[in-house]
Chain A
Amino acid sequence: MCLAVPMEVKHIEGDVADVEIGGVRKQIRLDLIGDKPQVGEFVIIHAGFAIRILNREEAMETIKIFQDGWNLELI
Chain B
Amino acid sequence: MGKKLLLDQGSGGLASHRLVADVFFRHLGNTILARMDDAALIRPKGPLAVSTDSFTVDPIFFPGGDIGSLSVHGTVNDVAMLGARPLYLTCGFILEEGFDLDDLERIVASMAMAAKKAGVKVIAGDTKVVPRGAADKIFINTTGIGEVVVSPAPSGHRARPGDVVIVSGSIGDHGLTVLSQRQGLSFEAPVHSDCASLNHLTLKLVKGLPAVHVLRDPTRGGLATTVNEIALQSGVGVTLEETTILVKPVVAAGCEILGLDPLYLANEGKIICILPEKHAAKALTIMRRDPLGREARVIGRVTAENPGKVVMRTGLGGHRLMGMLEGEQLPRIC
Q: Do chains A and B touch in the complex (CB under 8 A)?
A: yes
Give A residues with C-beta under 8 Å from B: 1-3, 5, 21-27, 45-48
Chain A positions within 8 Å of B334 at CB level: 1-3
B186→A23 contact, CB < 8 A: no
Closest chain B CB from A63 CB (angstroms): 16
Question: Number of contacts between A and B (CB, 8 Å)?
Answer: 45
Listed in ascending order, the chain B residues whose CB lies under 8 Å from chain A are: 186-191, 249-250, 252-254, 256-257, 259, 332-334
Of A5, A23, A27, most buried by chain B (CB within 10 Å of CB) is A23
A45 pairs with B257, CB closer than 8 A = yes
User: Cβ of A5: which chain B residues have Cβ within 8 Å of it?
Assistant: 253, 256-257
Which one of A3, A23, A48 lies within 8 Å of B332 (CB-CB)?
A3
Q: Which of A21, A22, A24, A48 counts the most B-chain CB atoms under 10 A from its CB?
A: A24
Enumerate chain B residues within 8 angstroms of A27, measured Cβ to Cβ: 186-187
B216 to chain A minimum Cβ distance, whole angstroms, is 29
- Contact A24–B333 (Cβ < 8 Å): no
B256-A23 in contact (CB<8A): no
| Chain A, Cβ-Cβ closest to B251 | A22
Alpha-carbon distance between A48 and B253 when the two chains are bound, in angstroms: 15
Residues of the A chain whose Cβ atoms lie less than 8 Å from the Cβ of B190: 23
A1 to B253, CA, bound (A): 19
- Closest A residue, CB atoms, query B190: A23
Q: Are A3 and B253 in contact (CB under 8 A)?
A: no
Q: Are A23 and B189 in contact (CB under 8 A)?
A: yes
Inter-chain contacts of B187 with A (CB < 8 A) = 24-27
- Asked whether A22 and B252 contact (CB < 8 A) given A27-B186, A45-B257, the answer is yes
Chain B contacts for A45, CB-based, 8 A = 257
Q: B253 is contacted by which of A2, A23, A46 (Cβ under 8 Å)?
A: A23
Write the nearest CB–CB distance from B5 to chain A, whole angstroms.
36
Complex Cα spacing A27 to B186, Å: 8
Report yes or no: B333 in contact with A22, Cβ–Cβ below 8 A.
Answer: no
CB neighbours (8 Å) of B252 from chain A are 22
CA of A21 to CA of B249 in the docked complex: distance in angstroms?
A: 9
19 residue pairs of the A-B complex, CB under 8 angstroms, read A1-B334, A2-B334, A3-B259, A3-B332, A5-B253, A5-B257, A21-B253, A21-B257, A22-B250, A22-B252, A23-B253, A24-B188, A24-B250, A24-B254, A25-B187, A26-B187, A26-B257, A27-B187, A48-B186
Minimal beta-carbon separation of A22 from chain B (angstroms)? 3
A27 to chain B, nearest CB (A): 7
Residues of B within 8 A of A48 (CB): 186
List of B residues within 8 angstroms of A2 by Cβ: 333-334
